[in-house]
Amino acid sequence: MNDVYVDICLQDQMLINVVIEQMICDNDPELGGAVQLMGILRILLDPENMLASVNKSEKTDFLNYFYKHSIHVLIGMYAGPVYNLVYH
């Protein structure tokens, strides 16, 4: 049980998760901070933008790591309202 809690805490502190949280919680979207963070996230996750010298398995490993450790943070902003509408 403790290992799971530590793993979740470490996932919350990962830079990519912090970027996603900042993007979601942007208080003033007119200043463009969230838009810039979305652009950074898009560049990071687009396999076409990854270096040509990086082999296919490294690209796949990175994307798998993202989906395992960060996708829940990204979809969390969409899952909350849907959950409230459907289940409450």
pTM, rounded to two decimals: 0.62
The pLDDT of residue 23 is: 83
Cα 6 to Cα 11, 13, 22, distances in angstroms? 9, 11, 22
Query: For 21-53, how does the pLDDT look when each residue is reduced to its tens digit (9 = 90+)?
Result: 888 888 876 778 888 888 888 888 887 877 766
Distance CA 72, CA 81 (A): 14
Q: How many residues does the chain have?
A: 88
Distance CA 50, CA 37 (A): 18
For residue 34, what are the domain limits? 2-87
Place 88 in a pLDDT band, splitting at 50, 70 and 90: very low
**For the chain, what is the domain count?**
1
